[in-house]
Homo-oligomer: A and B are copies of this chain.
Amino acid sequence: MEGYDSSKYEKMSVATDLLVFTVEDDKLKILLVERSEEPFKNALALPGVFVGINETLDEAARRGIKEETGLKNIYFEQLYTFGEVKRDPRMRIISVAYMALVPLKKLDFIAGERTVNAALYDVEEIISSKKKLAFDHKDIIKYARWRLANKVEYTDIAFHLVGEEFTLPVLQKVYEILLGKSLYKANFRKKIAPMIEETEFVTSGDKHRPSRFYRRKKEM
């Protein structure tokens, strides 16, 4: 900042765009809204909020997630900041993208109480479809999709897409969806064994062997 008079540089709007991911019907889904106004009227868009002058970026993201999903304590992280000049044809907006991961159960729980036009869309379909999304939102989704596939390999993010207690077949499916390939049961279980602990519960009602529920082991 040395040598610059900040007043010579115009200020700009800063927003957070929110990428709320979940898994539904064995597919990775993302929460999108249909725009009711120009520009990009009727196109699908990421939900987003402007950052208040007395609000941190994380706070804005948390507020936006709360407004869109009703949920307060879900996992989210900053993804990337997009600053193309003409992202928004109306004016200069810097967009700090945040990625949130939430188990479907939690979204269902509140879905009934809300009357927004937000809905879940298949991420692969959105990405490969020719249909245009608002602004640069398709690029943002592509980038997030790529990051998810990467991070699942060396972090625990996948756990945020299942509930507190989960069976291993379900968790494996989440890994497979994020990675985009199928895994061998035995190997998968060996790999995550150190990260989980048994519960006393098992599934029931299925016409096959029950599956045990596990939970994440608290790290020491």
Q: What is A's interface to B at a CB cutoff of 8 Å?
A: 1-2, 4, 6, 8-15, 33, 35-37, 45, 47-58, 78, 80-85, 91-94, 96, 117, 154
Contact = CB atoms under 8 A, between A and B. Distances in A.
Contacts of A8: 50
A91 B6 contact: yes
25 contacts: A1-B45, A1-B49, A1-B50, A2-B36, A2-B37, A2-B117, A4-B49, A6-B13, A6-B50, A6-B91, A9-B13, A11-B12, A11-B14, A12-B14, A14-B14, A14-B94, A51-B94, A53-B92, A56-B83, A56-B85, A57-B81, A57-B94, A78-B80, A78-B81, A154-B154
A93 B177 CA distance: 39
A9 B53 contact: yes
B78 A96 contact: no
A92 B14 CA distance: 11
Nearest to A94: B14
Contacts of A14: 11-12, 14, 83, 94
